[in-house]
Amino acid sequence: MDAGIECHFAQEALNLSSPAGRLGADIMNAFATHYSVNLSSEITKGQNGLLKLGLYPWHAPVGYLDMGEGGKMKELDPIKAPLIRKMFELYATQTYSLEALAKKMYSMGLTNSKGNVIRLSVLHKMLQNPFYKGLIRVKGKFYEGRHTPIVSSRLFHQVQMVMKGKFVLKGLKNDFMYRKAIKCSLCNYSLIGELQKGHIYYRCHTKSCPMKTLREDVISNTLSNAFMLVEFYPKEINTLLDLLTEIRENWASEKSALLNSIQLQRLNTQKRLARLTDLLVEDTITKDSYQEKKGEVLSELLLLKEREEELTTQKEGIFKRTEDFLEHLKTLIKTYKKTNRAKMAHLLKIVTSNLSANGKELLITMASPFYEAHQMRLLHYCGVNREMARTKNRTIVFSLIDGNPIKDPPLSKKQLCIYLDYLLSDTQNLCQFNDEDYSL
């Protein structure tokens, strides 16, 4: 009206040229705005209610099927779910770039909605989507989903580690044995391999870093010494296999004890989650920090749930994986020395969780269950400290100029029995060792 334009309404007798007419229009506009805001609020409230129940209120991600409206649980797509699982498994091998993986999955039948190759940005988001391991993430918040996971928590974690490592295997001029495997403890950059005078040296390329060069054969010898400390004597392996046979025959009572151990771990983890909520209420931590830590705790709970299900339903698989692992453990050093360059990175990721160098010292952080084996042999205590296994101080320091370490005497039967109980309570941690063929 202020611009000289007259407005007429088909249903409402409003005269916007008068103050009363404008007041009526303003009131109607306020009602319309309130209706829109309230509708949005009610929709959001309904969506949040479904999320807290573990239901995903939006369109199902690739690999799942929508089962109708009303917040029904997503079901596995019998065609695409196996392809999604294969996609994660292939990327975890560290032999595929995103581009190569997209082409590989296209050849196997995994395409976008138009039947074309999945875009790299979409593939990247799929590999990072925790929905596939059973968690729902919405705007940085995590919810425990009720849908069936396509991949295990461990496989999902492996894929995230590969993505963070930014492995690119094409166009390598020199594929050195420990490429991107060892970091400088001073600047946290990977040591770069160089071929000089017939020998391979690794050094930090940060100009201001005082890090010395390390020869590849010296690194290999040091790692061999480290592996010797966690390799079991043949006599110990035989005792462990005998104990495993006894446990197999008395599985009912053993399973009850192992399930009780896992349930206690779940209880402790749930207490940590409750404590996180208390810290948020007390304003001790920020909302962003709370959501990040909540996601980590929920991932731990998922892993414990997977272990519990495995103990309940996969009896023979548990014993077979444990038996295979013990056989590999008996010949760990031989396996390491005969492993080719293509499989070395995979083997190191199984036995260690971190390798770094500081001057003439190699800092080796052993992964479970090798770390626990080293601790038992080193400290000669009768038990595996599960809390210790979660601490950050898991690094073993080896001097690159020292001779061969002295291996302690064989462990007692009691210690071996406790170590075997530890292995059986976490057999998913042993699966990685059998993913590659390390037969001698």
Q: How does pLDDT run across 126-142, given as a tens digit for each residue?
A: 999 999 998 888 888 88
Model confidence at 119, pLDDT cuts 50, 70, 90, reads: very high
Task: Answer whether residue 310 shows pLDDT above 90.
Answer: no
Candidates 127, 115, 136; CA nearest to 84 is 127
pLDDT tens digits, 19-38: 777 777 778 788 888 888 88
- Taking a C-beta distance cutoff of 8 angstroms, is the pair 71, 57 a contact? yes
Give the mean pLDDT of 270-281: 86
Sheet of 192-196, strand order? 192-196, 199-203, 214-215
pLDDT tens digits, 336-370: 888 776 677 778 878 887 888 887 788 888 887 88
Contacts of residues 141-146 at CB distance under 8 Å and 24 or more positions apart, as own/partner, are 141/291, 141/294, 142/291, 142/294, 142/295, 142/298, 143/51, 143/52, 143/54, 144/54, 144/298, 144/301, 144/302, 145/54, 145/55, 145/56, 146/53, 146/54, 146/55, 146/73
pLDDT confidence of residue 87:
93
Going from the C-alpha of 354 to that of each of 87, 98, 161, the distances in angstroms are 26, 24, 12
- Under DSSP, the state recorded for 78 is T
- Taking a C-beta distance cutoff of 8 angstroms, is the pair 63, 80 a contact? yes
pLDDT tens digits, 242-253: 998 888 877 777
Task: Answer whether residue 382 shows pLDDT above 50.
Answer: no
Q: What percent of the chain has pLDDT over 70?
A: 84
For residue 44 the two structure tokens come to 């959001």
pLDDT confidence of residue 84:
93
Candidates 259, 423, 391; CA nearest to 325 is 423
Give the mean pLDDT of 152-173: 71
For residue 300 the two structure tokens come to 């731990």
3-state helix, strand, coil in the chain (%, to 5): 55, 10, 35
| Angle 376-382-385 from CA coordinates, rounded to 5° | 65
- Taking a C-beta distance cutoff of 8 angstroms, is the pair 83, 108 a contact? yes
Task: Answer whether residue 216 shows pLDDT above 70.
Answer: yes
Tracing tokens 């969506």 back to the chain, one arrives at: 47
Task: Answer whether residue 12 shows pLDDT above 50.
Answer: yes
Task: Answer whether residue 74 shows pLDDT above 80.
Answer: yes
Q: What are phi and psi of 134, to 5 degrees?
A: 110, 5
Model confidence at 124, pLDDT cuts 50, 70, 90, reads: very high
pLDDT confidence of residue 389:
37
Instruction: List, in sequence order, every beta strand (DSSP E) within 361-409.
Output: 361-366, 395-399
Give the whole-angstrom CA distance, residue 237 versus residue 328: 10
| pTM of the model as a whole | 0.51
Q: What are phi and psi of 149, to 5 degrees?
A: -65, 150
| Angle 105-122-436 from CA coordinates, rounded to 5° | 40
Give the mean pLDDT of 283-287: 84
Give the mean pLDDT of 293-307: 84
CA 296 to chain centre: 10
Task: Answer whether residue 386 shows pLDDT above 50.
Answer: no
pLDDT confidence of residue 81:
92
SS3 54: coil
β-bridge pairing 183-184 and 192-196: unpaired
pLDDT tens digits, 394-410: 566 666 555 566 667 78
Tracing tokens 């199984």 back to the chain, one arrives at: 350
pLDDT confidence of residue 175:
66
* Max mean pLDDT range (15-19, 43-47, 156-160, 164-168): 156-160
- Taking a C-beta distance cutoff of 8 angstroms, is the pair 310, 427 a contact? yes
Candidates 240, 224, 217; CA nearest to 407 is 224
Q: Provide DSSP, 208-247.
A: T--PPPEEHHHHHHHHHHHHHHHSPPHHHHHHHHHHHHHH
Give the mean pLDDT of 56-67: 88
Give the whole-angstrom CA distance, residue 81 versus residue 39: 35
Give the whole-angstrom CA distance, residue 192 versus residue 214: 10
Model confidence at 328, pLDDT cuts 50, 70, 90, reads: confident
Give the whole-angstrom CA distance, residue 350 versus residue 370: 9
